[in-house]
Amino acid sequence: MKNKRILYIVSIPLLLLTVFSTSPKATVDDHGDSFATATTITPCEPERGDLEVASDWDMFGFYGEQGTTYTISIELGSLEDSVMYLYDADGATVASDDDGGPHYASEIVWLCETTAAYYIEVGSYQDDFAGGYTLSLTSAGCGASEESKSGCFIAAASMNDVRLPVIINKIIEQVK
Ligand SMILES: [Ca+2]
Ligand SMILES: [Ca+2]
């Protein structure tokens, strides 16, 4: 009888722990946190992101072309204060910014000196905020003619890109 009581005492908290830890509270991260799981961002095409939790960091990859000046900017949505880092493929910090854009938004203007893969990491100031944002990677070629826009797509497509079919379809749509 005593053993049975002990069994209840042990099993009830265990049951509660199991129920709470497996409840569907865990949110899915929209963009990976590492270079390996980075989302490839297409120049000239804004990309929506969400810091599902305050400690989230979202990683984006792109192919930088030597001699091109890129403006990498965050437009704040529900996210109040962004922080942004630009890395080379070796993980060295090329540039970083906190509030270079409007309000507490981040913005980096950067002249690419070596054609290579680069990574943009977006997080919140001191890991204090969750919320949505839009990341834009633009250069002088953006927003001009359709021809130069296609050039941007091709530059992104030359990267080892899992979304290559999507980019090719976009190019086909533009040609039509
Ligand atoms: Ca995220
Ligand atoms: Ca993330």
What is the 49 CA–ligand 1 centroid distance (Å)?
A: 6
Question: What is the model's pLDDT at position 93?
Answer: 98
Phi, psi dihedral angles at 36 (to 5 degrees): -65, -30
Strands (E) across 89-165 are located at: 93-97, 107-111, 116-124, 131-138
At CB < 8 A and 24+ separation, what contacts does 25-28 make? 27/52, 27/53, 28/52
Taking only the tens place, the pLDDT of each residue in 32-77 is: 999 999 999 999 999 999 999 999 999 999 999 999 999 999 999 9
pTM (two decimals): 0.69
- Bridge partner list, 18: none
Centre of ligand 1 from the C-alpha of residue 92, in Å: 22
Residue 172 and residue 168: Cα distance in Å, rounded? 6
124 C-alpha to center of ligand 1: Å?
Answer: 11
Residue 12 CA to ligand 1 centre (angstroms): 35
Neighbours of 54 (CB within 10 A): 15
Three-state DSSP state, 118:
strand
How far, in Å, is the centroid of ligand 1 from the Cα of 90? 23
Instruction: Kindly give the distance from the C-alpha atom of residue 19 to the centroid of ligand 2, in angstroms, as a whole number.
Output: 26
State how far the Cα of 136 lies from the Cα of 129, in Å rounded to an integer.
Answer: 20
Choosing among 2.40.128.720, 3.40.50.300, 2.60.120.380, 1.20.1440.230, the CATH entry for 39-175 is: 2.60.120.380
Q: Sorting pLDDT into bands at 50, 70 and 90, what band is 27?
A: confident
pLDDT at 5: 62
* Number of the ligand closest to the Cα of 28: 1
| Model pLDDT for residues 83-105, shown as the tens digit of each residue | 999 999 999 999 999 999 999 99
Q: Phi and psi at residue 115, in whole multiples of 5°?
A: -65, 115
Read off the tokens for 104. Answer: 């507490």
User: In angstroms, rounded to a whole number, what is the distance separating the alpha carbons of residues 96 and 114?
Assistant: 18
Residue ranges per structural domain of the chain: 39-175
Q: In angstroms, what is the span from residue 152 Cα to ligand 2's centroid?
A: 25
